């Protein structure tokens, strides 16, 4: 009789042990799964992008908020991110409305395209951007605003600039190094 009780207690103990192991395993799976999901899910882009512009002191940034359309049916998260980057870049190159004093890209400069690879966005500008006034003042102000605006899109930390579809180490007669992606810490 006592043996039977002991066996039953041992069996119950084993079941409790197995249950604990299973629960621990489940807990680990849930924690790892949650971490994996949170770290790999596409960033929430929200319903607005912050568009920065450089004020005429050459360093201070101003900003305005521009509505961002929601993700459309059939538009993948990657496409939506790319479109948001394109949209943000277009707004940054356009600059604030004309009654706001700001350093502006040369007239006619257009964003011809954008793409995203990892956390780096590539923004292609028209060759009009090469018509700079000649000083580091304009170049720095323009690209600082563009960099801050595009990196304000969640998930983007760097902006590679191409001009007319080509990678340029610098603008003709220019000062800025454009060979590597620009980051906020560069300004």
Partner 1 sequence: MSRSVARTFKLRPSLPRFAANRVLPGLLSVALLCVALRVPAVADAPIKALFGAQTIAFSHVAGSGAATAIGVNDPGLREVLRETGATVTWRPGERYVLITTAAPLVVSFAIGDRRYDVGSIVLQASIAPYVRGNEAYLPLSELLRSLDLALRPDGSAWVVQPQLAWLDVRTWGNRTDIVARAGVPLRPRLVTDTPATVAYEFDGVGTSLTGTRNINAGGLRTMQVVQSGSVRDPKTIVTVQLAPGATHDIVRSDDGRDAVIGFGPVGFTAQTPFGEATPLPAVQANAAPAEAPPAAGTETATGATVTAVTVAPAGDGFVVAIGVNGNAAFEWHRLRDPDNRFWIDVKNAQLQGAPIDQPEPAPLGALRVRQIDPTTVRVALSLSGPKSVTISPATNGVSIAVGSQDVADAVRAGSGSIGSVVASNEQTAPVTPAPADESGTNWNSDSESSWKFGPRSTYVPANPRLIVIDPGHGGSDRGATRNGTAEADLALDMARRLNGILVARGWQVRLTHDTDVDVYAPNDSAHDELQARVDVANNAGARMFVSIHVNSFINSGPYGTTCYISKPSDVALAKDVEHELTSDGTKDDGIVKSHLYVTLHTLMPAVLVETAFLSNPSDYALLTSPEWRQRVAQSIADGITRYASQYPVPNQPSQ
Binding residues for partner 1, rule: CB under 8 A, are: 56-59, 64-69, 86-87, 90-91, 94-95, 97-99, 101, 103-104, 106-108, 110-112, 126-127, 133-140, 143-144, 164-179, 182, 186-187
Structure tokens at 39: 């770290």
Nearer to partner 1 by Cβ, of 16 and 184: the residue is: 184
How many Cβ atoms from other residues are within 10 Å of residue 14's Cβ? 10
What's the closest the beta carbon of residue 19 comes to partner 1, in angstroms?
47
- What is the closest distance, in whole angstroms, from the C-beta atom of residue 40 to partner 1 in the complex? 21
Closer residue to partner 1, CB minimum distance, 33 or 143: 143
Burial of 17-54, coded b for 16+ CB within 10 Å and e otherwise, reads eeeeeeeeeeeeeeeeeeeeeeeeeeeebeeebbbbbb
Phi, psi of 172 (to 5 degrees): -60, 130
When the beta carbons of 64 and 77 are compared against partner 1, the nearer one is: 64
Residue 57 or 78 with smaller CB distance to partner 1: 57
SS3 49: strand
Q: C-alpha angle 150/156/162, rounded to 5°?
A: 60
Residue 41 CB, shortest distance to partner 1, in Å, is: 25
């Amino acid at each position: 009789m006592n043996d039977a009780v002991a066996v039953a207690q041992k069996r119950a103990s084993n079941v409790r042990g197995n249950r604990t192991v299973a629960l621990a395993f489940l807990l680990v799976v849930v924690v790892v799964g949650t971490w994996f999901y949170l770290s790999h899910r596409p960033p929430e882009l929200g319903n607005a992008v912050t568009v920065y512009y450089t004020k005429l002191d050459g360093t201070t940034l101003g900003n305005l908020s521009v509505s961002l359309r929601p993700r459309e049916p059939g538009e993948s998260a990657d496409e939506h991110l790319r479109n948001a980057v394109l949209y943000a870049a277009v707004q940054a190159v356009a600059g604030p409305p004309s009654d706001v004093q700001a350093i502006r890209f040369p007239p006619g400069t257009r964003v011809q395209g954008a793409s995203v690879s990892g956390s780096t966005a590539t923004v292609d500008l028209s060759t009009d951007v090469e018509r700079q006034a000649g000083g580091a003042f304009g170049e720095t102000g323009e690209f600082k605003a563009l960099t801050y605006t595009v990196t304000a899109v969640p998930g983007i930390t760097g902006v590679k600039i191409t001009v007319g579809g080509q990678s340029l180490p610098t603008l003709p007669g220019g000062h800025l190094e454009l060979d590597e992606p620009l980051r906020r810490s560069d300004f």
